[in-house]
Amino acid sequence: MPVNPADSQVFGTLYGSDSMRAVFDDRAYLQRMLDVEAALARVQARQGIIPTDAARAITDAAKLEHLDLGALAASTRNVGYPVVGLVQGLNRAAGEAGRWTHWGATTQDIMDTALVLQVRAGLSLIREELRAIVKALGERAETHRHTLMAGRTHLQHALPITFGLKCAIWLQPLLTHLARLGELSRRIEFVQFGGAAGTLASLGDQGIAVMEGLAAELDLAAPLAPWHVLRDGLAEAVGFLGLLSGSFAKIATDVILLAQTDVAEVAEPYVEGRGSSSTMPQKRNPIASEYILAAARMVQGLVPVMQGAMAQDHERGTGPWQVESLVLPQSFVLTHGAALYTRVIAEGLTVDAERMRRNLDADGGLSLAEAAMMGLAPHLGRLEAHHLVQHAAAVARATGMSLAESLAREPAVSARLSAEAIRRLTDPGTYLGAASLFISRVLAKACETLDATGPGRHTRGADRCHA
């Protein structure tokens, strides 16, 4: 029975995804290690180090079904690592050719390279969801470019904004994350091949050629030197997941706040029974957002653990290296789960534009106090205008009248501005500043980023990118 709910048959779908678990589960990891062993044999055969027939036999044998997983588990418990038992199983499956397996390699070479292959696959799944979220939020930013709502600071009405601007603000860091993802891939997708102590002495003068050949065979980069005790790339990967999940958590936090009964401006996509209560049939709880927040907190908590594991001793870590297997799979599974939930929200969020406008108007125009102050400042000076509007706002709160009505009763205002001018000053649609331009800037960058980071090129344009 799983201890971690992310691996549970019952709770697993709440905390992660089957697709990411499939990348990091035991069977996938063991097969990746076999893939590395087979690739090593092929490279060494091409370089005349082992017989070609042996490489062919090793490749044919490097399949998970040829391993006795019970024996492998027993060996792993005894040795502390799976590679000794895995190589023994591969040797048996390859027959006579088995004596050429694992030539010149060490345990960590196989495990680290297999891990990099898993990370590459995991990042690919993250990239797929992230691109979909970017596209969905871009569409919403355009759709709601002119949808008025209250901007809120310290949880109170501040100035009018548009829901399109809020979506663009949600979108903006995700573009940076897409760029980071491409940069991260170039810094982490390295083969590991250094032999017992990072010198490849067992291969004589052929060591670097084998390392470079193995990298090419697995479509990885070759490092300048082995990175057995240099874990910055993997630590950066988890740091990236912490940043990404944090950006998802920002979206989830806003959705939770906007979905409160008293606000009711948005709601998560409706699915019958989802978010319901066992005792309150009317409830529609923001379940997706809640699990995004839970995942983000956990992933961000794992970031310092991974960074602490960078302090590895001499040429092979005694403890810190083993920490990584506790952190990396969990970080990827939780982040991908959060990404899936965020995509659901981005694509299916219910938006109540009428409620947004009613909430904006509910304070009688007080959120336009800055607009009134700036409109009066040329006539009265900024400081006097500030005091006058502050007084008018206080009167409006005390009496229940609107800010426009309160301002009209101020002699210093009515002497300078007509009733129509006062109305325009307190019209939220006239005080949006550069909101629309900011949306356009973010959407243009979204087009550029999707073009630059996608698996293939596509044509830019409003029909595709909404820029």
CA dihedral (290, 296, 299, 300) positive or negative: negative
Alpha-carbon distance of 237 to 246, in angstroms, equals 14
Alpha-carbon distance of 407 to 396, in angstroms, equals 9
Cβ atoms of 228 and 108 within 8 Å: the answer is: yes
Q: 418 CB contacts (<8 Å, ≥6 apart)? A: none
Alpha-carbon distance of 396 to 368, in angstroms, equals 12
- Contacts of 242-246 spanning 24+ positions with Cβ under 8 A: 242/296, 242/299, 242/300, 242/302, 242/303, 242/331, 243/177, 243/180, 244/126, 244/130, 244/177, 244/335, 244/339, 245/292, 245/295, 245/296, 245/299, 245/300, 245/334, 245/335, 245/338, 246/296, 246/300
Token pair listed for 364: 């009688």
Residue 165: strand, helix, or coil:
helix
316 is catalytic: yes
Q: 136 CB contacts (<8 Å, ≥6 apart)? A: 343, 346, 347
Alpha-carbon distance of 334 to 319, in angstroms, equals 24
276 is catalytic: no
Q: What angle do CA 328, 331, 336 make, to 5 degrees?
A: 125
Q: How far is CA 351 from CA 134, 148, 344, 389, in A?
A: 18, 12, 14, 33
What dihedral angle (degrees, nearest 10) is formed by the CA atoms of 215, 220, 225, 228? -100
Alpha-carbon distance of 256 to 288, in angstroms, equals 10
Q: Residue 256: left (phi > 0), alpha (psi -120 to 50), or beta?
A: alpha
Catalytic residue (choose from 120, 316, 397, 416): 316
The DSSP call for residue 303 is: H
What dihedral angle (degrees, nearest 10) is formed by the CA atoms of 96, 99, 101, 102? 170
The DSSP call for residue 270 is: P
Residue 200: which H helix or E strand, with range? none
Catalytic residue (choose from 277, 325, 414, 418): 277
Q: Show which residues are catalytic.
A: 277, 316
